[in-house]
Amino acid sequence: MKEIKTGQELLGVVELKNIQFYEVQARLYNGFDGDSPAASAADGSDQEDTSEQEWQFRIQVDSRNVNLRARLVVHGPDAGYVVDGAAFYVTDEEVNVEQDALEEFLNRAAMLALYPFIRESLHEAARKINANPPLLGMFSPDSIQIHLDRPEDERGSVRAEE
C-alpha cells in the first residue's frame, strides 16, 4: 500500500470519476404564508433571513476512493436555495492517506473541482424560478476551509469555516 503524505501526492494518484447531485432546489418567497425566512422566524422556527452561505461537508475515504460531498444552503432576498453535490475520486492502487494530506487535497483540489458545478446549479435553479441568483464568486481555498476532526473518526466528520 502506497503512503500518501501530501495533497500534491494524492492529486497525482487520483482520478475524478464523477460529479453527482443529490439535491438542487430553489423556492421563491412569495405566494404562500410561511414561504419566506422572515415569516418562518415569526412562527417560531429557527430559520434566519440571511444571504450568507451555509456549507456542510461529508468526506468518505478508503484505500481506493476519496469522495467529497458539499451542501450549500443560501437564503437570498427573494428565494431560498439548496445545492447538494459530490465529487468522486478513485485510485488505481491502494493508498493510505495521512490526514494533513487529505485536508490539503480536499481544500486545494477537490473543492476547486466541485465548486463550479455547485455555482452553476445555483444560478440555473434561480433562472428557472425567475429569481435574482445569489452571486458566488470564484472559489478561494482561504474563504471555505474543510478541517477533518482530530483524532480521525470513522464517520469522516468535518468542520467548515467560512
- Prior bond of 151 cis (ω within 30°): yes
Vertex 144 angle, CA 140 and 147, to 5°: 130
Rounded Cα gap, residues 142 and 157, in angstroms: 20
Structural domain includes residue 59: yes
Task: Identify the domain containing residue 37 by its residue range.
Answer: 2-137
- Cell numbers 493508498 label which residue? 95
Structural domain includes residue 150: no
- Please state the pTM of the whole predicted model: 0.80
- pLDDT of 12 reads 96
Structural domain includes residue 44: yes
Spans of the chain, pLDDT less than 50: 39-50, 152-162
Say how many domains are in the chain.
1
Structural domain includes residue 95: yes
- pLDDT of 53 reads 85
- pLDDT of 51 reads 60
* Grid coordinates given for 17: 470519476
